Amino acid sequence: MNKKVAIIFVLTLAALGYLIYYSFGPSSTTHIGPQVNPESLKPTKSTAVSQNNETPKIYHNKDITENFYAIIVPQSWQIQSSASRAGEYDFNFSGGTAKVELMDVPDNSTLELFVLSQEEPQLKNLLTGYKRIDYKKMNLNGNEAYQLSYLSDINDTKYESIRTYITGQDQAAIITLSLPQAMNASLKNTSNLTINSFSWENK
Amino acid sequence: MRQIFLFVSLGMLCFGLYLGFFYDVPDSQEKINFFVSWFFIIIGISSLLMNLLWDTEKKEKNRE
């Protein structure tokens, strides 16, 4: 073996070692795969359109490439930024919670099949007193969507949850609203406005 | 023998480049795709270089 070949061999081993460290080492999660843009966690602007005497806020999420979206929420909803992952928002409001998140649907499945065969059985296992109220297919601003409504018990309180799955170009979006069953109709109406405001911004 | 080795090295390099830059990676498989593609690229380039340098060394010796 000549010197040059030996040097290349050693360099190759070093490069492979570095590749393994870079791919699977402790810092690998920060540079491979989707990354959070900290700016996008902040609300970028609010509109002047008023509903129910309060100014709604528009959130433009640009955390994950190909999965940019916008959603309008009432001003009174408090964002829980500390609990959010990439592409996710958590909101608290009087009596209930809301969550917007992105979900990867396997390429060999459709969103509807995934919801019925994977998501619903999982919810049944996770939640106590799970009972399906309604399931429907809908069109949300030109996107196919599936809405699953169900009841569950959280701390001895009956909660009604509406989970809306919206198809996207790459990932699907999920909007989950959980409200006490005894909520008033206006709160339900506000929640529906939030769901209907969702739109993809992949341009 | 040398041609087979060169062909395999070139194949590995091309396959690595394809995986890294043209293959539509399934979601959540980015990490493993990154590793496999660069593994093939590194092995491909180094085996090509080793093969070529080894060959030139032999020729120099023969001339002497």
pLDDT, tens digit (0-9, with 9 covering 90-100), for A64-99? 777 888 888 888 888 887 656 778 888 888 778 888
Nearest to A8 among B27, B38, B49 (CB): B49
Judgement on whether residues A9 and A42 belong to the same structural domain of the protein: no
- Which of A3, A19, A21, A171 should we substitute to test contact with B (largest number of B Cβ atoms within 10 Å)? A19
Q: Give bridge partners of residue A61 from the DSSP assignment.
A: A69
Per the structure, the count of domains in chain A is: 2
State pTM to two decimals: 0.56
Domain span at residue A161 reads 36-200
Judgement on whether residues A188 and A108 belong to the same structural domain of the protein: yes
Size of interface A-B (CB pairs under 8 A): 48
Task: Read off the pLDDT of residues A133-190 as tens digits, 9 standing for 90 and up.
Answer: 888 888 888 888 999 888 888 777 788 888 999 988 888 889 988 888 776 566 677 7
Judgement on whether residues A51 and A88 belong to the same structural domain of the protein: yes
Chain A residue with CA closest to B40: the answer is: A16
ipTM above 0.90, yes or no: no
Judgement on whether residues A7 and A57 belong to the same structural domain of the protein: no
* Backbone conformation region of residue B45, classed left if phi is above 0, alpha if psi is from -120 to 50, else beta: alpha
pLDDT number for residue A154 = 79
Judgement on whether residues A51 and A73 belong to the same structural domain of the protein: yes
Judgement on whether residues A22 and A40 belong to the same structural domain of the protein: no
Task: Read off the pLDDT of residues A8-48 as tens digits, 9 standing for 90 and up.
Answer: 889 999 999 998 888 887 766 655 555 555 555 555 554 44
Instruction: Return the CATH number at A47.
Output: 3.40.1000.10
